[in-house]
Amino acid sequence: MIKVGSLEHVAVAYRDTDAAAQWFCDVLGFEIIFKAVHPSFGVNFFFVKDPAGTGLIEIIPMPPGDDTKLKDFSVSHVHLAFDVEDMDEAVATLEAHGVEMEGPPAKMGENTLLFFRDPEGAPLQFVQRPKPLK
């Protein structure tokens, strides 16, 4: 059996990697911890770290000629989820930044969930739980 430690990162391809990295920093409080020019595409790619310092997202360039639209992915099929302590504050911050939301926060048992989109339409979620799953 392979001995896996933890999830190291997830990667999402964007048409404008610079704008995507900046959005994660400005709106969600992430920090750019690595930036380099992608050797195949000649544009920047990034690793951004979440505010808790436990999760990484690699922001990679969409391959030239790929017409995939992130907004075409349903939030029920794939999404990146982030825990929040205060859903009302999270919603207010998203609204202040003009972020597209998939509807109001919804209760699922004791949890509150909110689906929203980043500027290129990638499906994201905020989760507020009374007790973390960790």
Residue type, 80: L
Instruction: Tell me the C-alpha distance between 55 and 41, whole Å.
Output: 25
Q: Give this prediction's pTM.
A: 0.85
**Residue 43: in which H helix or E strand, if any?**
none
Q: Distance (Å, rounded) from C-alpha 91 to C-alpha 27?
A: 11
**At the topology level of CATH, where does 7-63 sit?**
3.30.720
Single-letter amino acid code for the residue at 24:
F
CA distances from 21 to 13, 45, 55, 77 (A): 11, 9, 14, 23
**Strand order from edge to edge, sheet including 111-117:** 80-83, 123-128, 111-117, 106-108
Q: What is the pLDDT of residue 114?
A: 95
Low-confidence ranges of the chain (pLDDT < 70): 134
Q: What is the pLDDT of residue 108?
A: 92
Note the CATH architecture for domain 70-134: Roll (3.10)
Q: Give the start-to-end residue ranges of the domains of the chain.
A: 7-63, 70-134
SS3 21: helix
What's the CA gap between 34 and 54, in Å, rounded? 15
